[in-house]
Amino acid sequence: MVSAPVKICMILLFVFLLFLDPGPVNGSADNIDSDELMIFVEAGTVDIEEKEISPWWKWTSMDRNGNFIHDSIDKAHDGSNKLFHVYVDLVKPQNPDIIEKIRNVGGEISYICKYINTICIRNVTYNMIERLLAIDEVVFVEEQPYLSINLDVSARNVEARPSADYSPKTAWELGYTGKEVVVAVLDTGVDDNHADLRNKFVAGYDCSGNYGVAWTTNPDDKNGHGTHCAGVIMGTGDPNSDMAEREYVGVAPDARLVDVKVLTDIGVNLGDHLIMGMEWCIENKEQFGIDILSISVGTGGGGDDGTNANAQTADAAVNAGLIVVVAAGNEGPNNDGFSSVAASDKAITVGAVDDGDTVTRDDDVIADYSNRGPRRTDNDNDILEELKPDVVAPGTDIMSCMYSPRPVGFVTGYQQMTGTSMACPHVAGVAALMLEAKPGINASKVKHLIRKTAEPKGTVYNNDISETYSHEYGFGRVNAYEALREVMEDYQTVMITSLGNDDIIGAVYEIKGVANNEEQGALQYVEIKIDGGEWYQAQGTYQWSYTLDTEGFENGEHFIYARCYNGRNHSDEDRVKVIFNNLILLITSPEKNAAVYGDEIIITGRTKGINLEYIEVSINGRGGFKAEDTSLVGDFSIWHFQWITDGFPEKEYTFQFKAGGNDVYSRSTSLTLKFKHPSSKDEGSSIPFPWIGGPILSGILIISIAKRIKNKR
């Protein structure tokens, strides 16, 4: 057994190791043997736990205090019987029993949504809201937003129609003008008596009145906003002159119109009317051939994260096969993100530039009123959803069709309007051109290609997220010609399948994925890059892989990108955010090749990394031993291994130490010691803890370690 003096020395040494950040006993970190050194991760604030997949109402930014009531309702609640108009969100689709429970609470049910699990209610008190939340099926109560209304030069500016500056590289000169594409304009109604909109009307629906009762199937416009927007999309200009001579022509002059009136004649309404209008378009998509929704209405205030009922309905419309284009809003430049439908994950959100009344884009600048991005996070793993606006288009002093207050007769007047409301229909028109060029292309591809072909402008927001996105201009100024050229090519995609966002990897990792191209056999190669580094070719194409040695990078957060090439152009990039976690594992005492003896030998060390659970130990290849993780000093875990030497003969022993745990990557670290039993102490061997003078030598060792640590720091 070990004597009392030696035990005291060992305890003193152990205490010092607990409270100090020891350096390696063999000198500076630069001199550590390579087999002892592993790159370590700075834990920082990175949350390495895989995010629990949970319903949106548990993490929406609309509910900062976690009471499942929209923060704006809490803020407005003053203890009185103030009335609110709300969306009641359900955990599952409504049924008669749920509706009856909600009806019994009070208020007026104004609309029961068909494509999202929401019921629209007006005139409820805060107390009634709390009673609504007591219903098992009710998971969240939102405040209904109030909606409001937020082409000669501009159609040429986006390279739609021919011009001296951009011909022959324009969309019309490629032969596309939006033929047979149907665009629904959800607005104040459209005066389709205007000569520029003659013979375009397909169908209509007026849900601007109380509780969505349709007044007419061909709404009229007594405000002018909707007619102006329709003219930007599909206005034909003066029908009495040749097309080349017409001034105020829309982006897709051969597109057709579905008129959905969601705002009153004074240009305002509650948010449930917009939900009614969008859902009517979903229901009647096939009957009237609706392809695109152009929505130049919105709510002020911002702060939404895409989980509000209007945004979710827009997502439902995209899921149903409709392209949804929305105005970004006019609260810039210091807006709080985006609001209502503009925050939708899947819609194309459009900001505005001032084109300076010139065809060329060199002098285009972001309009002061245009909402800036990004959107508030919805706390899921898709960062790209937050990159709003998607693109920008001309929105200042746009000349387009003017409505007529007269009930009958064609009019030919024009007027100027300004706002992201005017930018939105430009992009809806570009989408119509793309649909004519490639019928059946889905909404996600249209959004992707409009983003991809936009002309970047402004300061990049975050290179690690996107190399082109600017918080002012989004992915850039929309370009109809480039979008059409891209859509006419074979569409290609690439996806990383072996990794998800926030996965932890290390050592040598094989990244795997898939790629696709509409023309089979056209893909030539797939490339991979890490962060802002160089592109490296992967093995294979449609099924591909790339072997990545993570030890060549610093530990922590990294972005892995993939793209493919089909001989003409590169695909959009897929990207995942991962964490490299190659653990450091160091032995701090005793030194290598030291001579030791005793019934118990203590070996100490330190590690740095995340997810460390244990340290495996083997002695001359014999496994089954584990070290103890005793404490945390700073960022380091201090550990020790107690070797009970009974039964081990005198000879040289090699100890192997390897860290383990979930997603822990560590090389083994070795230590060789020459062991003698205590009875051999007089045979002239060098031992660190002799029977005589043990306390003195141990104290010297402790002081030496402390000095080295101090020097290291």
Residues with a catalytic annotation lie at 187, 225, 421
CA-closest candidate to residue 504, choices 458, 550, 545: 550
Pairing of strands 323-327, 290-295: parallel
Contact of 417 with 225, CB cutoff 8 Å: yes
Looking at residue 134, its amino acid is A
How many CB atoms are located within 10 Å of the residue 290 CB? 27
Rounded CA-CA distance 116/240 in Å is 47
CA distance 610 to 545: 27
By the 10 Å C-beta count (0-12 exposed, 13-18 middle, 19+ buried), 512 is classed as: middle
Instruction: Name the DSSP letter for residue 611.
Output: S
Cα 669 to chain centroid, rounded: 40
- In order of 187, 214, 224, 599, 682, the CA distances from 265 in angstroms are 10, 15, 9, 94, 106
Rounded Cα distance between 505 and 502, Å, is 9
DSSP label of 208 = -
Other C-beta atoms within 10 Å of 321: how many? 14
- CA count, 13 A, side-chain hemisphere, 339: 26
Dihedral in degrees, nearest 10, Cα atoms 360, 362, 367, 371: 110
Q: Which residue has the tokens 């990897």?
A: 505
Q: Who's near 627: CB < 8 A, 6+ residues apart?
A: 603, 605, 614, 615, 617, 639, 640, 641, 657
**353 by DSSP, 3-state: which?**
strand
Closest residue by Cα to residue 275 from 85, 50, 444, 432: 85
Residue 279 burial class via C-beta count within 10 angstroms: exposed 0-12, middle 13-18, buried 19 and up: buried
C-alpha distances out from residue 341 to 73, 236, 283, Å: 19, 29, 19
Q: Beta-carbon neighbour count of residue 662 at 10 Å? A: 10
What span, in angstroms and rounded, lies between the C-alpha atoms of 557 and 580? 7
- For tokens 């006993």, the residue is 25
- Secondary structure (3-state) at 697: helix
For residue 688, whether the previous peptide bond is cis, meaning omega lies within 30 degrees of 0, is: no
**Separation between Cα atoms, residue 262 and residue 595, nearest integer Å:** 87
DSSP 472-528: TTBT-B--HHHHHHHHHSPPEEEEE-S--TTEEE-SEEEEEEEEEESSTT---EEEE
Collapse the DSSP code of 169 into the 3-class scheme (helix H, G, I; strand E, B; otherwise coil) and give the result. Answer: coil
| Contact yes or no for 687/596 (Cβ under 8 A) | yes
Say whether the peptide bond before residue 407 is cis (omega within 30 degrees of 0). Answer: no
Distance CA 347, CA 575 (A): 21
CA distance 121 to 3: 82
Please give the backbone phi and psi of residue 434, each rounded to the nearest 5 degrees, phi first. -65, -40
Positive or negative, the CA dihedral 182, 187, 191, 195 is negative
- Where residue 340 falls (left for φ over 0; alpha for ψ -120 to 50; beta otherwise) is left
Paired residues of 513 in beta bridges = 496, 544
Q: Which residue has the tokens 């191209």?
A: 517
